[in-house]
Amino acid sequence: MPRVMCTWFPRWPIQRLYAVQPALRRQPLALFAESAQRLRITACCPQAERCGVRVGQSLADAKAMLSDASYQPATSEADRTALRELALEAQRFTPLVGLEDAAEPESLFWDISGCPHLWGGERPFFQAVTDYWKSRRYTVRLALADTVGAAWAVAHYGPTASLIPSGREAAVLANLPLAALRLPKATLSRLGAMGLHRIGDVQKLPRKSLPSRFGAELLQRLDQAFGEQPEWFAAERLQEPLVVSRTWDEPITDQLAVAIVNRELLHELLAQVAQRSCGLHEVRGEFQTETKTVPVELHVTEPTLDEAHWNELIALRLERQPWPGGVLRVTWMALRLGVLHRQQGTLFAQDHAADQSRAVHALVDRLTSRLGAGAVLRVEIRPDPQPEQAVALIPWHQPAANEEAPFVAEQWRSRPMRLLPVPHPIEVMPVVPDGPPLRMSWEGRSYRVIHQQGPERIETGWWRTEDARRDYYRVQWDDGTEVWAFRDRRSGGWFLHGFFD
């Protein structure tokens, strides 16, 4: 008899976001999606639920009820992909792990037949799996039974961490609600109207009458749960890596010959990538020379199958690569694939914006290949109240931080476009002690303040090594210069931080 374990991740979309953005654990969190031409809540954390937020509620009502919560758009495809990655990760315990067959899966099925003895039995195996998910900070409910249906039912509606001995499912399932059979809502409503609420209630009815009264699916789910009818799940499988290579008995010293081989290998690699309906996003090359292996990694801004573009990037990258001896082996491997950007063609007008975007991405790719990733940078906005920490220069191809802040136009209009590298101390004559500035001295010259706005108070958290407590003012001097200055509320000193150009 096979043994099946079900691992349920309650509120999986919330748990997935917690895993990628741990900072979200500090505040209520709710997810929303469009439904019937309105934005509605699709999932929420227990803290938000205690404050009155409910699944199905409109986003506007939820924000009116709980304004300080974090509201994020639901991404069911990302949820499924992350759960699939956990299924592959769980194959350290058993080679057969797959997702439940549902529109929005939250559970994994494991066929553990022949595996528990490696841990000393089912109970130590069960505890090892429990401890593993706990170490990953996931909240799970586990159940082990003889069938897929019984394991799912007990994991969702039975006691926590249930290990059902083989052949004992009937006694456990009889007391569970009918929703544990994964029946449609319409079927559950008809059963409830007849006063049938538990699996044991349905088992007492004549078997032949069930399909005609409640549909064939009821009998199917009962038989699957009790092992009278087989039920299978599709186990996840790791895809084979995409690798192409050439090997020679004698070292190749002619760089032109190596370049021709690179083109041939790239053509083969892109053909394999195209078979998966994807684009190539990141590639790694290895050149085995007579003395050592020379690695080369290349990234592009957007996944692409443009062979000419990849050939140009490889040529630019290898121009500045020293070669310690002749080449014995060349290998190219696809490290990361991505979805190709597809756009419907236009009959008459050209999409100049899309053409310009592709041209910019191609330029960035060429510069990065020629100069290195550290030489081509972009600005990243960060969710930090301290102005000098709110933006950072990062390599263009580096993925955005998980907690990248949204661009709020109203906030950035009140910020100067030119900040000093560090705030510079200045002398200020205030109107009153700890009040707005009246005169300011900068670079040996005194300026009269003719207009000022503020204060805007900015404070950082206590967890900083040195927290910031500042009152910012937008000040216009008598010569027309507009500056951004603040008074340090800890020391009382004044600092110039930027200029409005």
Least-confidence region, from 200-209, 328-337, 341-350, 462-471? 341-350
Decide which of 338, 360, 389 is a domain's last residue: 338
Question: Which residue type does 235 have?
Answer: A
Q: Render 59-91 in DSSP notation, one character per residue.
A: HHHHHHH-TTSEEEE--HHHHHHHHHHHHHHGG
Give the rounded percent of residues in the chain with a pLDDT score beyond 70.
93
Q: With a cut of 90, say whether residue 340 has pLDDT above it.
A: no
CA–CA separation, 388 vs 401, rounded Å?
Answer: 17
Our count of domains for the chain comes to 3
CA–CA separation, 180 vs 153, rounded Å?
Answer: 4
Q: Are residues 169 and 307 in the same domain?
A: no
Question: Which residue type does 383 have?
Answer: P
User: Does residue 400 belong to any structural domain of this protein?
Assistant: no
Q: Are residues 230 and 262 in the same domain?
A: no
Q: Are residues 146 and 275 in the same domain?
A: no
pLDDT at 412: 58
The DSSP code for 198 is B
Q: Are residues 196 and 322 in the same domain?
A: no
Q: Look up tokens 């630019």; give the residue.
A: 316
Place 347 in a pLDDT band, splitting at 50, 70 and 90: low
Q: Are residues 231 and 247 in the same domain?
A: no
Place 111 in a pLDDT band, splitting at 50, 70 and 90: very high
Q: Are residues 271 and 191 in the same domain?
A: no
pLDDT in tens, 167-190: 888 889 999 999 999 999 999 999
Q: Are residues 147 and 11 in the same domain?
A: yes
Q: Does residue 469 contact residue 459 with C-beta atoms inside 8 Å?
A: yes
We report the CATH number of the domain holding residue 330 as 3.30.1490.100
Q: With a cut of 60, say whether residue 285 has pLDDT above it.
A: yes
Sign of the alpha-carbon torsion through 59, 63, 66, 68: positive
Parent domain of 265: 243-338
Decide which of 238, 261, 276 is a domain's last residue: 238
Decide which of 238, 254, 276 is a domain's last residue: 238
Q: Are residues 216 and 308 in the same domain?
A: no
pLDDT at 463: 66
User: Does residue 288 belong to any structural domain of this protein?
Assistant: yes
Q: Are residues 14 and 152 in the same domain?
A: yes
User: Does residue 366 belong to any structural domain of this protein?
Assistant: no
pTM of the model: 0.57
Q: With a cut of 60, say whether residue 349 has pLDDT above it.
A: no
Residue range 236-257: mean pLDDT, rounded: 87
Q: Render 102-159 in DSSP notation, one character per residue.
A: SSS--EEEEE-TT-GGGGTSHHHHHHHHHHHHHHTT---EEEEESSHHHHHHHHHHS-
* Distances, alpha carbon 457 to alpha carbons 75, 92, 468, 473, in Å: 36, 52, 10, 9
pLDDT at 477: 93
pLDDT at 474: 93
Token pair for 76: 């069911």
Q: With a cut of 60, say whether residue 480 has pLDDT above it.
A: yes
CA–CA separation, 376 vs 363, rounded Å?
Answer: 10
Burial of 442 (0-12, 13-18, 19+ CB in 10 A): middle
User: Does residue 369 belong to any structural domain of this protein?
Assistant: no
Q: Look up tokens 């009959």; give the residue.
A: 347
Q: Are residues 232 and 252 in the same domain?
A: no
Nearest to 69 by CA among 25, 29, 16, 24: 29
User: Does residue 296 belong to any structural domain of this protein?
Assistant: yes
Residue range 470-477: mean pLDDT, rounded: 93
Q: With a cut of 60, say whether residue 404 has pLDDT above it.
A: no
pLDDT in tens, 407-456: 454 555 678 888 888 899 999 999 888 889 999 999 889 999 999 988 98
DSSP β-bridge partners for residue 441: 427, 446
Place 488 in a pLDDT band, splitting at 50, 70 and 90: very high
User: Does residue 47 belong to any structural domain of this protein?
Assistant: no
pLDDT at 2: 86
Nearest to 442 by CA among 414, 411, 467, 478: 478
pLDDT at 324: 80
Residue range 134-150: mean pLDDT, rounded: 94
pLDDT at 31: 95
